[in-house]
Structure 1
């Protein structure tokens, strides 16, 4: 769910900044498969619909699976952001 929300957010951000071509890489293999093969995941059906609708607005868009082991910088950044978010949420 979190990865799907991130992808939807990234697509919105790219559109707001007038990007026309985009390559999104993710370590969420099932999600990439659901997006590219149009194989819905019941729990996030609405998010998948949003992602596909937003993706259709680009001249070119692709979704690529990248194993976490091959993308350690992004994984560390995501873990750091999650840690900071959880700290802020707990202190509120």
Structure 2
């Protein structure tokens, strides 16, 4: 679910910044498969709907799976951001 939220946010950000062509790579293999095959995952149905709606706003868009082992820099950044986001929230739980 978190990866789907991140992809939706990335698409919004790309559109807000005038990008019309996008190639998004992720290590979330099931999510990428669902996006490429229009497969419906009931746990994240509304997020998939949002992502597909945003994807139609691009002139071209593609989603590719990339193993985490081949994307160490992005994985490190994502973990760092995740820690920063979760840490302030833990005070409220």
TM range (shorter): over 0.9
The equivalent of 1:89 in structure 2 is 89
In the TM superposition, structure 1's runs of 4+ consecutive aligned residues that sit over 3 Å from their partners are: none
Within a 5 Å distance, the mapping from 1:3-82 to structure 2 comes to 3-82=3-82
**How much has 1:86 moved relative to structure 2?**
1.9
> With structure 2 as the length reference, what TM-score do the two structures score?
0.94
Return the alpha-carbon distance in structure 1 between the equivalents of residues 41 and 90 of structure 2. Answer: 30
> More displaced, 39-48 or 79-88?
79-88
Aligned Cα root-mean-square deviation (Å): 0.9
How many residue pairs get aligned? The number is: 92
Unaligned 5+ residue runs, structure 1? Answer: none
**How much has 1:90 moved relative to structure 2?**
2.1
Unaligned 5+ residue runs, structure 2? Answer: none
> With structure 1 as the length reference, what TM-score do the two structures score?
0.95
